[in-house]
């Protein structure tokens, strides 16, 4: 391919210095009962320890989360303390775009020369989400109470529509058929279980024991609980909630964290077990589409990204996306002339859930591992986010090959 395209000249993602928790479904694990910021900090420390990366390498921490948590005011510095490092940091959020945007912000921190190694830590607990109480003096009720997760899913103030309505509207716009959406869904589940059974996910996901106040184990987060095998018959028999949207063809809320490092290219040798693998951040873009058409936004963002880079869908070794609705994949395949079976070969968020902040981070880690297995190449990662936003990025993995 000749000259490298790259968004950052010095920033790299060190292969292997990463990991994610499993994403147990909403209200099904010990994560429903703990301070997710503390959990994420301690879990990242644990994951780095397992990867033989000393926490002392961290100079800065970018955290991403979208659901308020106890002591959130203190954000990145507090989470860094839970990780065992008193380093500065920054918190960011933009719904499901958070997990990818955080990586690029970290890269900017590195490329700016201010920090050699920046941690990216994204997390969310959708379970028992907090309820905010907002004085609204002009409002009819004077005071509004808002359950952060479910009330927001149900109402986009900019359009007046629920999240699910955007899937129905987009499906109707593109003439997507229910049968295709069901087929996509079945394929995604099959891909996930194949990846799981092959041991692929063991390289990404780390089982974590959660302790109670007495120091005893109150639960083990070692499964994407809530994920069940679907049959074609069961899927096709599900009631449609909106056009092409059923309980089976949309994702579910879940809890979890995911983390990786971004570092200066000269630092990779210290942080990665396979420093010969060079992971560059090629390009990233975001786009906001017409009101209530969120599922088309990622495809449009990818088109924009291809226009910017001169790359095309055939150049991509790995294609992976955050797809809260299977409709997203159908639209993407149609607009980008892509066989949807070639996407998400190692699983996706349609299957394992939607904790928002860490969703795209886990997807990125899985995609990079997949690319390494394939011997390297371009990785296309994209997804939708609340507000009819699409975000997309291309990364390049120099080489790979699975190691025993």
Residues that bind another protein (CB under 8 A): 34-35, 38-39, 42-43, 45-46, 48-49, 53-56, 82, 84, 86, 208-211, 213, 215, 217
Q: How far is the CB of 244 from another protein (least distance, A)?
A: 40
Bridge partner residues of 261 (DSSP): 119
DSSP 211: E
- 247: which residues sit within 8 A by CB, 6+ positions away? 238, 239, 241
Q: How far apart are the first and last CA of the chain?
A: 29
Nearer to another protein, 135 or 199 (CB): 199
Minimum Å gap between C-beta 19 and another protein is 12
Closer residue to another protein (CB): 58 or 300: 58
The nearest distance, CB 269 to another protein, in angstroms, is 18
- DSSP character for 247? S
Cα–Cα distance, 248 to 234 (Å, whole number): 9
- Cα of 317 vs its chain's centroid, Å: 19
Q: Which tokens hold the place of 399?
A: 């080489």
Residue 34 or 287 having the CB closest to another protein: 34
Say how far apart CA 177 and CA 19 lie, in whole Å. 36
Say whether 171 sits in a helix, a strand or coil: helix
Give the residue among 355, 282, 284, 370 at the shortest CA–CA distance from 320: 370
Q: Tell me whether residue 82 or residue 338 sits nearer to another protein (CB atom).
A: 82
Answer whether 251's CB lies under 8 Å from 167's CB. Answer: no
E-only strand ranges, 222-266: 255-264
Collapsed DSSP state (helix, strand, coil) of residue 11: strand
Least separation in angstroms between residue 216's CB and another protein is 9
Is the Cβ of residue 38 or residue 75 nearer to another protein in the bound state?
A: 38
Q: Distance between CA 322 and CA 302 in Å, rounded?
A: 13
CB of 210 to another protein, least distance (A): 6
Percent helix / strand / coil, the chain, rounded to 5: 40, 25, 40
Residue 397 Cβ vs another protein, minimum distance, rounded to whole Å: 26
Instruction: Decide whether 14 or 248 has the Cβ nearer to another protein.
Output: 14
Q: Which residues pair with 189 in a beta bridge?
A: none
Q: Which is nearer to another protein, 58 or 392 (CB)?
A: 58
Between residues 48 and 318, which has the closer beta carbon with respect to another protein? Answer: 48
- Parallel, antiparallel or unpaired: strands 19-20 and 255-264: antiparallel
Q: How far is the CB of 78 from another protein (least distance, A)?
A: 9
Give Cα 247 to chain centroid, integer Å. Answer: 21
Nearer CB in complex with another protein: 53/281: 53
User: Please, are residues 210 and 221 in contact by the beta-carbon 8 Å criterion?
Assistant: yes
Q: How far is the CB of 100 from another protein (least distance, A)?
A: 25
């Amino acid at each position: 391919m000749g000259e490298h395209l790259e968004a950052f000249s010095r920033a790299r993602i060190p292969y292997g210095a990463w990991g994610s928790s499993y994403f147990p479904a909403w209200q099904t694990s010990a994560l429903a009962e703990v301070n997710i910021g503390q959990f994420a900090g301690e879990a990242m420390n644990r994951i780095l320890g397992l990867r033989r990366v000393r926490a002392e390498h961290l100079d800065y921490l970018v955290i991403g989360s979208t659901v308020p948590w106890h002591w959130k005011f203190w954000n990145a510095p507090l989470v860094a303390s839970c990780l065992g490092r008193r380093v500065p940091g920054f918190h960011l959020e933009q719904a499901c775009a958070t997990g990818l945007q955080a990586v690029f912000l970290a890269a900017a921190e590195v490329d700016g020369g201010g920090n050699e190694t920046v941690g990216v830590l994204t997390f969310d607990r959708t379970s028992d989400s907090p309820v905010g109480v907002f004085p609204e003096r002009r409002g009819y009720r004077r005071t509004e109470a808002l359950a952060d997760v479910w009330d927001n899913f149900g109402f986009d103030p900019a359009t007046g529509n629920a999240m699910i309505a955007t899937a129905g509207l987009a499906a109707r716009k593109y003439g997507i058929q229910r049968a295709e959406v069901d087929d996509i869904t079945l394929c995604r589940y099959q891909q996930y279980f194949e990846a799981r059974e092959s041991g692929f996910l063991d390289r990404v996901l780390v089982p974590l024991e959660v302790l109670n106040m007495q120091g005893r184990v109150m639960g083990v987060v070692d499964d994407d609980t809530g994920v069940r095998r679907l049959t074609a018959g069961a899927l096709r028999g599900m009631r449609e909630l909106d056009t092409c949207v059923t309980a089976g063809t949309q994702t579910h809320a879940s809890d979890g964290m995911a983390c990786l490092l971004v570092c200066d290219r000269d630092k990779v040798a210290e942080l990665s077990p396979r420093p010969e693998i060079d992971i560059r951040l090629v390009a990233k873009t975001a786009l906001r589409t017409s009101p209530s058409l969120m599922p088309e936004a990622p495809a449009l963002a990818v088109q924009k990204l291809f226009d910017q880079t001169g790359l095309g869908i055939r150049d991509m070794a790995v294609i992976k996306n955050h797809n809260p609705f299977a409709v997203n994949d159908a639209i993407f395949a149609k607009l980008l002339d892509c066989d949807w079976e070639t996407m998400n070969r190692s699983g996706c968020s349609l299957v394992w859930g939607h904790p928002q902040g860490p969703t795209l981070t886990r997807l990125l880690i899985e995609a990079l591992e997949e690319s390494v297995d394939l011997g390297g190449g371009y990785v296309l990662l994209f997804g939708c986010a609340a507000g009819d936003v699409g975000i997309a990025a291309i990364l390049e993995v120099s080489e790979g090959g699975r190691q025993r």
